[in-house]
Structure 1
Amino acid sequence: MRTPAETMTAYFDGWRRHDAESLREVLAEDVVFDGPMGHVEGIEDNVASLHGLLSIVTDVQVRHVFVDGPDVLTVYDLHTTATDAPMLTVNWAHVVDGRARTIRAVFDPRPLLGT
């Protein structure tokens, strides 16, 4: 079984490969995502949402990972085709039995909204 840090490393490795389907291996069936652009529940809807997101992601550069038991906080620069500059993003995941159960993302959505 993966540690929480290994789970989230695999998660972001899937992003870098633009492989949303591989994320099924690290997401819990009842995973819940919350972020500035929306709320998504369940593995099917999360994978579908990630397919959309990964279509504009060009790179993910992890700056730092903080681990506190089952909680993993990843600070990264998100590069996309929709923005000129990378977006500083913080992702807080709660991992149970090697799978992310909850994921919360924090970033300024204005560059994506054109404001």
Structure 2
Amino acid sequence: MNAADLAEAYFTAWQERDFTRLRTLVADDVTFAGPLAVIDGAEECVAGLEGMAKVLDRIEVRERLASESSVITWFDLHTTVAEPAPTANWMRVEGGVISEIRVAFDPRGILGS
């Protein structure tokens, strides 16, 4: 899979709560940094996404820009606890898996609940 395909598969698996599939898309030593967590390693990363999925309603992708080794996905994060949060997600792809994820959004609505 190329970088754009990996991003599509990642967001689909997360939204469908297919964490077994999601785990196959990230490197064992994946790093994640965002306003709610800084994580090292695949198991902790998937567990964090699984936790966030408890309040996830849907992901509305607005734009995706990809190169050979990275992808930026701009989307609205719809949750059951807050207004939609405009979100930027950047991923680095190495060796056919996601090796690095950086997320930016305003977490105040989610944290206020």
Pick the TM interval, shorter chain: over 0.9
Does residue 65 (structure 1) correspond to residue 64 (structure 2)? The answer is yes
| 1:61-97, Cα deviation, whole Å (9 max, x unpaired) | 10000112201000001111111x2110000000112
Please say if residues 3 and 98 of structure 1, whose CA atoms lie closer than 8 Å, have aligned partners that are also in contact: yes
The 1-side partners of 2:57 and 2:111 are apart by 18
Q: CA RMSD in A?
A: 1.2
The 2-side partners of 1:30 and 1:40 are apart by 10
Structure 1 position 18, deviation (Å): 1.5
Please say if residues 30 and 99 of structure 2, whose CA atoms lie closer than 8 Å, have aligned partners that are also in contact: yes
Q: Equivalent residue for 2:91? A: 93
Please say if residues 3 and 67 of structure 2, whose CA atoms lie closer than 8 Å, have aligned partners that are also in contact: no
Secondary structure, aligned partner of 2:72 = strand
- Over the matched positions of the two proteins, sequence identity in percent amounts to 38
- 5+ long unaligned stretches in structure 2: none
Structure 1 position 22, deviation (Å): 1.3
Please say if residues 18 and 55 of structure 1, whose CA atoms lie closer than 8 Å, have aligned partners that are also in contact: no
Please say if residues 57 and 79 of structure 2, whose CA atoms lie closer than 8 Å, have aligned partners that are also in contact: yes
Structure 1 position 99, deviation (Å): 0.7
Structure 1 position 44, deviation (Å): 0.7
Structure 1 position 21, deviation (Å): 2.2
The 1-side partners of 2:68 and 2:5 are apart by 12
- Taking structure 1 as the reference length, what is the TM-score of the superposition? 0.93
1:111 to 88, 98, 109: 109
Please say if residues 56 and 82 of structure 1, whose CA atoms lie closer than 8 Å, have aligned partners that are also in contact: yes
Query: Map of 1:4-83 to 2, 5 A cutoff?
Result: 4-83=3-82
